[in-house]
Amino acid sequence: MVFPGLPTTSPNSVRPLKASREPTQLIETQRIAHVAGVQYDVVHDTMTWSNEMYTILGIETDLTPSKELIIASTHPDDKKSVSRTWLGATLRAEAFDIDFRIVRANGEERNVKARAEVQCDDHARPIKMVGTLSDETERIALERERHGLELRFEAGFEQSAIGTAIVDLTGLPLRINQAVCELLGRQRKSWSVISGPTSRIPMMFLS
């Protein structure tokens, strides 16, 4: 089966690494981590990758690995930077670690990270590229959610009309909001220069 927009490859290209050639433990590890192994023969323009690559790209397992499949799956807005990175690796032996987006055949957008090192011959010419492609979608979504929670906390902390403080185990203030300053009649900056028992916040004033 061939998806519209995804190019076919030459029948002479190297076939993908089959499951039977990959240790079961390695397959499971890559599946759980959402990481695929990739190798590219620069001289012969052939590529191999592990089965997890099919899952990440969302393509059928009967498709032959190729750089064209990766480029075709890349988000339109990221194709230029991915192509530029690829040329830097294959022409100038530049290792890379890049983040970009892919669009699966069903229209689903995913965030991925590609890492690779380049091996050269005795004349410093690139001959082989070895790397990984990992699906970072869930991690990025969690980071965005955490960042959103932090922003909401900051807004609630600073704008609250109730005196609120973050203190250490001894009662010394680490952070206070403006309401605490107004309740106690002190400037906020004074809390950062005063230490010792006199700077402890009377907890009865915080509610």
| Residue 183 confidence (pLDDT) above 90 | no
Is residue 202 located within the same domain as residue 169? yes
Number of domains, the chain: 2
Tens of pLDDT along 70-109?
Answer: 999 999 999 999 999 999 999 999 999 999 999 999 999 9
Domain region containing 25? 19-141
Q: Is residue 135 part of a domain?
A: yes
Strand partners, 134: 35, 113
Is residue 133 located within the same domain as residue 168? no
pTM score of the predicted model: 0.63
Closest of 203, 207, 204 to residue 173, by C-alpha: 203
Q: Is residue 146 part of a domain?
A: no
Is residue 119 located within the same domain as residue 184? no
Average pLDDT, the chain: 81
For residue 32, the model assigns a pLDDT of 74
Q: Quick one: tokens of 150? A: 């932090």
Tens of pLDDT along 104-118?
Answer: 999 999 999 999 999
Is residue 39 located within the same domain as residue 125? yes
Q: Is residue 2 part of a domain?
A: no
Q: Is residue 9 part of a domain?
A: no
Beta strands (DSSP E) in the chain are: 35-41, 46-49, 96-103, 109-120, 126-135, 165-167, 173-176
Which CATH number covers residue 90? 3.30.450.20
**Cα–Cα dist 62/58, whole Å:** 12
